[in-house]
Amino acid sequence: MTADARTIERARHAMLAAIIEEVAETADWTGFAALSPRVLAALDAVPRHRFVPEGEQRWAYENRPLPIGQGQTISQPYIVAAMTELAAIGPEDRVLEVGTGCGYQAAVLAELAARVHTVECLPRLAATARERLQALGYGAVEVHQGDGSQGWPAAAPYDAILVTAAAESRVPPALIEQLAPGGRLVIPVGNRARAGLEGGLALFELGPEQELRLLVKDAEGRVEDRSVLPVAFVPLVETGPRAAKA
């Protein structure tokens, strides 16, 4: 192992330690005090420094969001971990992510699931994430460009759906429709993030303006919905046919 590789591995282990600590601190909110071994292994496996712009690489393993261009951010590692844990992904699962960004969360999901579809509305981010995921060998991920507030009907239903941008006032109905029986949907909902703070960040000390929600569809198609954590995300842009009526 080269000195560089050792430095990166040390940084990643420090990131995992910070995540583990924050998971324990937020147990009253989330309902879990530890991550499952599969989620930890997935976070340990993904080279986060390959997903951030070159100028940001030295911060890649800090437990905070980072800019990825086009006014967007890669979420705080703790939030990626918490959302992934809530999604309870099994090895056979088909997963949808809305808001590809740089592709990091999609890579974490690909470590856990059989297939990942991820939708990004900004063409340039979608193209870069597609190339990056391919170069890193994440063949299980398909990157689509479009309005993910409409889900991705062509590959539905999904065992889990993660949305990494905040829906303004309600969970987009298309996402609930595309959830398989037993499926989990993890999504931030709420008006606005506090100015300057958005970026897939947990705000458990500041109180809610947006909340992370977990919806679970049972075998009969009934949906249970609970609020998990106050958060700050960039907005989910809704441009699809239903947005006008909402």
**Which member of 26, 73, 84, 210 binds ligand SAH (CB under 6 A)?**
73
Both structure tokens of 31 = 């309902």
By CB under 6 A, what part of segment 202-241 binds ligand SAH? 234, 236-238
The answer to whether residue 63 forms part of the interface with ligand SAH (CB under 6 A) is: no
Q: Which residues pair with 188 in a beta bridge?
A: 212
Q: Find out whether 238 and 172 touch, Cβ atoms under 8 Å.
A: yes
Residue 47, amino acid = P
Choose the stretch contacting ligand SAH; rule: CB under 6 A; options: 5-13, 98-106, 152-160, 208-216: 98-106
Please, which residue, 30 or 75, has the CB nearer to ligand SAH?
A: 75
**Of the ranges 17-25, 33-41, 102-110, 214-222, which one interacts with ligand SAH (CB under 6 A)?**
102-110
How many Å apart are CA 73 and CA 67, to the nearest integer? 4
Site for ligand SAH in 163-202 (CB under 6 A): 164-165, 200
Closest CA relative to residue 130, chosen from 121, 139, 56, 64: 139
- Residue selected from 18, 23, 101, 143 as contacting ligand SAH according to rule CB under 6 A: 101
207 contacts 230 by C-beta, under 8 angstroms: yes
In 46-137, alpha helices (H): 77-87, 104-110, 123-135
CA nearest to 222, candidates 183, 189, 188, 167:
183
User: Which range touches ligand SAH (CB under 6 A), out of 2-10, 26-34, 121-129, 177-185?
Assistant: 121-129
Active site residue 75: yes
- Residues in touch with ligand SAH (CB under 6 A): 68, 72-75, 98-99, 101-102, 104-105, 119-122, 125, 147-149, 164-165, 200, 234, 236-238
Catalytic residues: 75
